[in-house]
A and B are shown apart, each in its own frame.
Chain A
C-alpha cells in the first residue's frame, strides 16, 4: 500500500473496515497534505481541529461496527457551500467576513454520512469563471505542469480549488458546483472525475446562488466509483428547496456493473467544432472505440441547436445572477462601504466588493432583463433553452447516453485568455448545453494532451439516470487506465 492520501474513497473504506489504519491517521495525513499544498492556494480556510474531532467520531463508529457510507473521508468543500460557523465567502470580497449560521443541506448530508471536513476551497468569484483566476483570494494553481515548462497552469473553474485539492492529494474528494461546466471542466483539466448530477438531484439549500435554474452540486473524486459513493450521500429531495426533485436515490455504486453491452451511445455531430485541436478529436475517437469494445453501440446523432447553447446560457445565467446577487448590498451582512446616501452605500459597497467578472455579468444580466430588451434577449434565450432540452430528449429516444469531449482544450496558463472573455466562455461549449437541459454529465480522465496535460471525456445521460452515466463512465475509466499524476506534490508524474 502506498501513501494514505493516494487511496480512493472505495479503497480507504476497505482499509478502514479492515482496521489497516484509523480515520484519525488518514485525516492527519490529509491535514499534512493540505498544509503542504498551500502554494497552490486551493484552500481558503483549513479546519484541522474540526477534522480531527470528526475523525475521532468516525473511529468511534467504526469501532462499534456502525461505519457510515462516507466514514472518515476527508473532504474539501467549495467555498460556495455555507458551512455553519466556518467562513464562507463564495470567493468574493463582498462576503469576506461572512460566517453562516447554518449548514448547507448537501454538506450536512455528507457529515451525516460520516465524512470529515478539511476546509473550504477557492473558486472563481460567485462561481463565475472557468479558470479559478477571478477570485478575491488570488488564483489557484493547478498541481499539473507541462513537462519541462514551469509556468503555472489554471485548474479550470469555477470549482478549481476543489479540483486542485483532489488532484494534489490534499483531499480524498471535494464538493463542487456546476452551473455551466464548473465541475466537469476543472475535473478534465486536473485529471479527476467530476459529476454534475441532474438538476434537482441535490438540494441547493445553503449553496450561495449563482444562477438558480442551472446550479447543481456534485462530487469531484479520483474515481468513478468514488463519484457514485459520494453522490449517494449528497443527493435526495429536500423540502427546503422547491426545485429539488422528489425522486428516490438509487444505489449508484451498484450500477457500476462494468457491463454496457447493448447500450446505444450517442455521438453528437455538432460537437465536432471547427478549429478544435486534433488531439481532442483523437481522444474522442478513442473513447468511441472503447465503448464499442465494451459491447455498446455508437450512434451518430444530431443536436442541431448546440451552437445556440452558449449565447442562451450567457443571457440566462447572468440574468438570474444579476437578481441573485442584489442581496449583497451592505445592509445586513458582508462588506459595507459607507456613503452619503443609501444609493451611494450600494454603489461603494458593490464596487469594492465585486470583481470585474462578477460586475460584467451583473451588467449583462441587468441589461437583458431591462424593459425593451427582455423579449429580444431573455425570453428568446428561454425559448432556445426549451428547444435545446427537446433536442436532447429526441436524442435520448435513439440512445441511452451521449459521449463527448469535456472541454475543447487542455488547461492553459494563468493569465492566458484573461483579457478575452469570449475565449474564456468557449471553455464551456460542451458542458453548458447539459446544464440548460438539466441533465447529468460526468467528466472522466481519458488521456493526456501532447503537452502531457489531462483531458477528459464527458458522458451525458437522461434526467435522473446518473446510474447509466456512471456505468458508461466506469468503462471509459477502465479502458483509459489513466494513471498519470500531477507534478505536485513533488514525486508525482
Chain B
C-alpha cells in the first residue's frame, strides 16, 4: 500500500493530508441572500452584507447547513448538534469585513471516513478529521490595470465546506484517488459540483516524509492547487524535494508553499503571506448553530445510494468485478446508464459495452456521459440484438459506430444495411461447401494435421457472408464438414 520512494540513503515514504474547499451548491450565499451564479459580471452578486457595510449582519442560510450535514452523513461522520462560528481576522482587499466567518474549535461535522478504491481493486479507508462551514473571499484581479488591483466581490460570502483528511494518504496516487472519491460522493449528494476548473473544489496539501513506519517529519502545506493532476504533481515534487533536502543534511522548515504549475515545482510563499495571527474568536453576531437530532435523522433517511453501497450492490447483483463496479459507480450518471442497459439483460455484457465501447467513444469525443450520442435505451437495444442472435458481437461494433454517427437505433441500422445474421444452417452449409471446394489443397493439409487452418476457413466463410454468418453455428457446421 505505502509507496516507497527510493532516496540516496534509503527508502522513504510520504505522509499526506488534504484540506479540500468544496463550494456548496446553493442559490444564495452562506450569510446573505445574494446570488452565487458562476461567471456573472463582476460585483453584480453582492449584498451590503457581503460588502460589509456598517451595521450589516450575517444570517445563516439554512440550505447550506443542510448541505453540510448531508455531506457529513455521506462521509459517515459524526454530526455535531451544536457548532460555533468564529471570526478569522486578517486584512485583505477582497475580504470586506476584515474577517472570514468560519468554524474553528467547534465544526458542524466531526470525524468520518472515506474508502479509496485503488486501481488493483483493493480498497483503503482514509480518516476524515472534520468538515466545517465557512465563507469564501472575493477575488482580486491584478491584471486589469498597470498599477491598480480590481476587486470582484461576487464570490465573497459564498458557502464553502472545508473537508480535512487525516494524514492517512501515502502517495500522490492515493491523494488523486481520494479527491476523485470525495468529488464522486459530493456529486451524488448534490452538495458540490466538484468543478475544479471553476474553483468549486480547491485543495491544500500537507506533505511530510519519513522513513517507512518511522516518526513523522515536518510538514509543508501547498496552498490552493486546482486540479487533481496538479495535486499529484505537487505532492510528488514536494516529497522528493524534502527527501533531497534531508539527505543533503538540511531540515524541512514548516512553511506554506505554492505550486507553480508551469514549472511543476513548489516554492515558498513570501513570508508576509503566511505570517498571520488570525485572532480567532466566536462571532458575536451569530448564535451557536444548533441542530435537531430528528432533522438530522430525516436527512440521513433521505440520502441517495452512495458510491460504496452502489458498488457493493453491483458486485452482488450483477456479479461485476470490484474494478468494473468501481469504475461504473464513479459518477451517478454512468451508474444509472449502466443500470438502464443492464436491466433485464446480461449485466456483464452490458458493463463491457458501457466501459469499453461507450467510454471509448465518449473519450474520443470528449463528452460526459450525460451528453452521450447513444442513449442507454439505444445501447440496450443493441445488446438485445446481440443476445437474441440477430447480429454477432463483431458486427455489433459496426452497428454501434453507425449509431454514434447517425443517432439511429440499432434495429433500424441492421435492417437498413442488411446486417442481419444468417442463422439458416442450410445457407451457411452452402457457403462452407463452396469455400472448401475452392480450397481443396488447404482442406487436405488440415486433414493431414494442420489444424490451425480452421481459423482460415472461418475467415473465408465470413468474408463470403460479409460477416453475417452466426459464428457459433458456422463453427459447428465447419467442424463437421472438415471432419466429414
Flag if B149 contacts A333 (CB, 8 Å).
Answer: no
Query: Do A100 and B286 form a contact, CB below 8 Å, given A242-B58, A331-B96, A378-B281?
Result: no
Flag if B284 contacts A204 (CB, 8 Å).
Answer: no
Among B54, B87, B279, the most chain A Cβ lie within 10 Å of the Cβ of: B54
Q: Is residue B59 contacting chain A, with contact meaning CB distance below 8 A?
A: yes
Among A209, A322, A326, A333, the most chain B Cβ lie within 10 Å of the Cβ of: A326
Binary interface encoding of chain A residues 303-328 relative to chain B, with 1 for a CB under 8 A from any of its CBs, else 0: 00000000000000001101100110
CB-nearest residue of chain A to B54: A208
Flag if A369 contacts B279 (CB, 8 Å).
Answer: yes
Mark out the residues of chain B between 45 and 99 whose CB falls within 8 Å of any chain A CB in the assembled complex: 48, 51-60, 87, 89, 91-93, 96-99
Q: How many A-B residue pairs have CB under 8 A?
A: 101
Flag if A327 contacts B55 (CB, 8 Å).
Answer: no
Mark out the residues of chain B between 272 and 322 whose CB falls within 8 Å of any chain A CB in the assembled complex: 277, 279-281, 284-287
CB-nearest residue of chain A to B51: A332
| Contact among A101, A211, A374 with B48 in the assembled complex (CB-CB below 8 Å) | A101
Mark out the residues of chain A between 33 and 76 whose CB falls within 8 Å of any chain B CB in the assembled complex: none
Q: Which residues of A contact B54 (CB under 8 A)?
A: 82, 88, 90, 95, 98, 100, 208-209, 327, 333
Q: Is residue A285 contacting chain B, with contact meaning CB distance below 8 A?
A: no
Q: Is residue A226 contacting chain B, with contact meaning CB distance below 8 A?
A: no
Q: Is residue A125 contacting chain B, with contact meaning CB distance below 8 A?
A: no
Flag if B96 contacts A369 (CB, 8 Å).
Answer: no
Mark out the residues of chain A between 324 and 364 whose CB falls within 8 Å of any chain B CB in the assembled complex: 326-327, 329, 331-333, 342-343, 346
Q: Is residue B252 contacting chain A, with contact meaning CB distance below 8 A?
A: no
**Assembled-state Cα–Cα distance A322/B55 (Å):** 15
Flag if A240 contacts B284 (CB, 8 Å).
Answer: no
**Assembled-state Cα–Cα distance A49/B92 (Å):** 41
Binary interface encoding of chain A residues 11-33 relative to chain B, with 1 for a CB under 8 A from any of its CBs, else 0: 00000000000000000000000
Q: Which residues of B contact A326 (CB under 8 A)?
A: 89, 91, 97-99
**Smallest beta-carbon distance B104→chain A, Å:** 11
Q: Which residues of A contact B286 (CB under 8 A)?
A: 242-243
| Contact among A104, A211, A239, A332 with B59 in the assembled complex (CB-CB below 8 Å) | A239
Q: Which residues of A contact B51 (CB under 8 A)?
A: 332
Q: Which residues of A contact B87 (CB under 8 A)?
A: 323
Flag if A342 contacts B99 (CB, 8 Å).
Answer: no
**Smallest beta-carbon distance A15→chain B, Å:** 35
Q: Which residues of A contact B327 (CB under 8 A)?
A: none
Flag if A369 contacts B55 (CB, 8 Å).
Answer: no
Q: Is residue B151 contacting chain A, with contact meaning CB distance below 8 A?
A: yes
Q: Is residue A282 contacting chain B, with contact meaning CB distance below 8 A?
A: no
**Smallest beta-carbon distance A322→chain B, Å:** 8
Q: Which residues of A contact B91 (CB under 8 A)?
A: 326, 329, 343, 346
Flag if A323 contacts B55 (CB, 8 Å).
Answer: no
CB-nearest residue of chain B to A334: B54
| Contact among B60, B89, B284 with A212 in the assembled complex (CB-CB below 8 Å) | B284
Q: Is residue A371 contacting chain B, with contact meaning CB distance below 8 A?
A: yes
CB-nearest residue of chain B to A244: B57
Binary interface encoding of chain B residues 32-53 relative to chain A, with 1 for a CB under 8 A from any of its CBs, else 0: 0000000000000000100111
| Contact among A205, A320, A327, A331 with B57 in the assembled complex (CB-CB below 8 Å) | A205
Q: Which residues of A contact B60 (CB under 8 A)?
A: 242
Q: Is residue A302 contacting chain B, with contact meaning CB distance below 8 A?
A: no
Query: Do A327 and B58 form a contact, CB below 8 Å, given A242-B287, A369-B281?
Result: no
Binary interface encoding of chain B residues 89-124 relative to chain A, with 1 for a CB under 8 A from any of its CBs, else 0: 101110011110000000000000000000000000
**Assembled-state Cα–Cα distance A81/B54 (Å):** 9
**Smallest beta-carbon distance A363→chain B, Å:** 13
**Smallest beta-carbon distance B221→chain A, Å:** 18
**Assembled-state Cα–Cα distance A333/B48 (Å):** 11
**Assembled-state Cα–Cα distance A104/B48 (Å):** 13
| Contact among A213, A241, A323, A346 with B89 in the assembled complex (CB-CB below 8 Å) | A323
**Smallest beta-carbon distance B305→chain A, Å:** 36
Q: Which residues of A contact B280 (CB under 8 A)?
A: 369, 374
Q: Is residue A370 contacting chain B, with contact meaning CB distance below 8 A?
A: yes
Query: Do A369 and B89 form a contact, CB below 8 Å, given A90-B54, A209-B54, A342-B149?
Result: yes
Q: Is residue A170 contacting chain B, with contact meaning CB distance below 8 A?
A: no
Q: How large is the interface on A (under 10, 10 to 19, 20 to 34, 35 or more residues)?
A: 35 or more
**Assembled-state Cα–Cα distance A148/B368 (Å):** 90
**Assembled-state Cα–Cα distance A378/B279 (Å):** 10
Q: Which residues of A contact B279 (CB under 8 A)?
A: 322-323, 366, 369-371, 374
Flag if B57 contacts A242 (CB, 8 Å).
Answer: yes
Query: Do A331 and B93 form a contact, CB below 8 Å, given A212-B284, A213-B284, A326-B98?
Result: yes
Q: Is residue A207 contacting chain B, with contact meaning CB distance below 8 A?
A: yes
**Assembled-state Cα–Cα distance A298/B155 (Å):** 58
**Smallest beta-carbon distance B57→chain A, Å:** 5
CB-nearest residue of chain A to B289: A242
**Smallest beta-carbon distance B62→chain A, Å:** 12
Q: Which residues of A contact B277 (CB under 8 A)?
A: 370-371
Flag if B281 contacts A241 (CB, 8 Å).
Answer: no
CB-nearest residue of chain A to B153: A332
Mark out the residues of chain A between 82 and 117 whose CB falls within 8 Å of any chain B CB in the assembled complex: 82, 88, 90, 95, 98, 100-102, 104
**Assembled-state Cα–Cα distance A213/B285 (Å):** 7
**Assembled-state Cα–Cα distance A346/B286 (Å):** 27
**Assembled-state Cα–Cα distance A101/B92 (Å):** 24
Flag if A243 contacts B285 (CB, 8 Å).
Answer: yes
Q: Which residues of A contact B57 (CB under 8 A)?
A: 204-205, 240-242
Flag if A319 contacts B281 (CB, 8 Å).
Answer: yes
**Smallest beta-carbon distance B253→chain A, Å:** 19
Flag if B281 contacts A323 (CB, 8 Å).
Answer: yes
Among B59, B87, B151, B281, the most chain A Cβ lie within 10 Å of the Cβ of: B281
Flag if A205 contacts B99 (CB, 8 Å).
Answer: no
Q: Is residue A206 contacting chain B, with contact meaning CB distance below 8 A?
A: yes
Among B52, B57, B58, the most chain A Cβ lie within 10 Å of the Cβ of: B57
Q: Which residues of A contact B99 (CB under 8 A)?
A: 323, 326
CB-nearest residue of chain B to A378: B281
Q: Which residues of B contact A343 (CB under 8 A)?
A: 91
**Smallest beta-carbon distance A93→chain B, Å:** 14
Q: Which residues of A contact B151 (CB under 8 A)?
A: 331
**Assembled-state Cα–Cα distance A100/B56 (Å):** 11
CB-nearest residue of chain A to B60: A242
Flag if B52 contacts A327 (CB, 8 Å).
Answer: yes
Q: Which residues of A contact B59 (CB under 8 A)?
A: 239-242
**Smallest beta-carbon distance A383→chain B, Å:** 13
Q: Which residues of A contact B96 (CB under 8 A)?
A: 327, 331-332
Mark out the residues of chain A between 230 and 252 whose CB falls within 8 Å of any chain B CB in the assembled complex: 239-243
Q: Which residues of B contact A213 (CB under 8 A)?
A: 284
Mark out the residues of chain B between 143 and 159 whose CB falls within 8 Å of any chain A CB in the assembled complex: 149, 151
**Assembled-state Cα–Cα distance A82/B89 (Å):** 25
Q: Which residues of B contact A331 (CB under 8 A)?
A: 93, 96, 151
Q: Which residues of A contact B285 (CB under 8 A)?
A: 209, 212, 242-243
Q: Which residues of B contact A371 (CB under 8 A)?
A: 277, 279
**Assembled-state Cα–Cα distance A323/B93 (Å):** 15
Flag if B55 contacts A207 (CB, 8 Å).
Answer: yes
Q: Which residues of A contact B93 (CB under 8 A)?
A: 329, 331, 342
Across chains A and B, which 4 residue pairs bring their CB atoms closest together, nearest first?
A: A326-B98, A213-B284, A369-B279, A212-B284
Q: Using a CB–CB distance below 8 Å, which chain A residues touch chain B? A: 81-82, 88, 90, 95, 98, 100-102, 104, 204-209, 211-213, 239-243, 319-320, 322-323, 326-327, 329, 331-333, 342-343, 346, 366, 369-371, 374, 378
Q: Using a CB–CB distance below 8 Å, which chain B residues touch chain A? A: 48, 51-60, 87, 89, 91-93, 96-99, 149, 151, 277, 279-281, 284-287
Selected A-B contacts with CB under 8 Å, 28 pairs: A82-B54, A90-B54, A95-B54, A100-B53, A100-B54, A100-B55, A101-B48, A101-B53, A204-B55, A206-B55, A208-B54, A209-B54, A239-B59, A242-B58, A243-B285, A319-B281, A323-B279, A326-B91, A327-B52, A327-B53, A327-B54, A327-B96, A329-B93, A329-B98, A333-B53, A369-B280, A370-B279, A374-B279
Give 10 A-B pairs besides A242-B58, A323-B98 with Cβ atoms closer than 8 angstroms: A81-B55, A100-B53, A100-B55, A212-B284, A242-B286, A326-B99, A327-B54, A327-B97, A371-B277, A374-B280
